[in-house]
Structure 1
Amino acid sequence: MRLLTLKSALICTALTFALSVAGAQAATDTKHPAKSSKTAHSSKSSKSSKTSKTSKTAPAKPSGQKVSMLGGKFVFYLPKEYVKGPMEEIDDKAKAAGVTGSLYMNTPAKRVVIITETPLPDGKNVPSNDTETLDNIIAETLVQQQSSYRDFSKLSEKKVVRKGVGLRQLDISGSVDGGKVLSTTVAAASGNRTAMVNVISLAKDAKAHALVVKGVTGSK
């Protein structure tokens, strides 16, 4: 089963720039008024102390849109301002073969996040950090991207393990219709499926691009 080519992904990015998104989320804090009663002071101080300790040790609840891949083994969050849409380039034949995908768009920033899952060929079944499978996926992706971008340049390639799931990160730069872009592909595989996340941004937005990628990989 062939992987989706980057050419299809680039068609999707062109469609997103006409859309508009808006959204902002405000966080609110609640404060508890203090009372000056000597008899209740000790008890309330104890409760307050327990509450304080609980708030310090409780893990922060993830914010944004949850994206779950590979049966929940590979999970990350995207900012709320990204609008989710279908991958119209996945044809009926691919869908019947088990290929799925979604497109997340941040129109003001002209950034897209494309996620796809594809069955491994020949019914192959692999563990969650299979070196050979991941190396092959990235090698194929690199070849595809070299033919899809003008002024292609490979920037880096990284290996990351996130909660037991092995990831490969491929960073490249190139030109699309005269515009300079950054493209990061993150690949994973587990069981009989592969997962790919492709983040594409304008080259001038390198810092914001890196933040989105870190959210996907969980790297520092």
Structure 2
Amino acid sequence: MAASNPTGPIGRVSKRIGRYVNHDDVLVRFVSLWIVVASVFTAAWILSYLFFPQGLLRGGNPGASTGYAGSITREFLWLFGWNVGVSLIAIGANTLRSVNTPMGYVIEVVQAPWYGAVWGTGSLAIGTGARIVPSLTVLVERSGPMEITAIVAIVVATRGVMIWHQPSGPRWREEFDRVQSPSDWSLTQREWALLIGGYLLLAVACYREAVAIAQIAG
């Protein structure tokens, strides 16, 4: 988007969202990206529950073939390790920035509807295989929303770990220029706090999920 000058309602909304998710204040970034990710997750959850075949994504769910690890501790370590790996991929993607958008943001916005569809089609790794009925109660009871919140916190806290920048569009054609090296990276105190808080929340979510899985499978 060469010096993007969006016109029309979609362009204006996109520009406004971009302004908030890329805000200088890390808490504004966090809340804004969380709203975007939660919205696409919820939309995919509801639509897949209503229209997609049950179990549709089970074959494409990497965790679906692993089964129960045998104990809460091992299950927790597996879940936490998996999610830390996902977070590191997202942080690595942040080294690429297209105009103002870190690629880690893109990963989160793409991953969220897939996860929502896993819920809606009953394609979770362990359980009865029944669809998860969309409701606010489910959001509170399950650990998935907590995991999503944690990853969003990690991604927005590490927005500044850029190396390559695409200054203008079209995004599918323009090259990325190297503008920084890892030695140039720095996080503010608030970004460090959000990053550490994100990993602590992720650990809590994974332990909570491990306990729930043990109750079902053990």
TM score, norm. by length of structure 1? 0.27
Between structures 1 and 2, the one with greater strand share:
1
TM score, norm. by length of structure 2? 0.27
Between structures 1 and 2, the one with greater helix share:
2
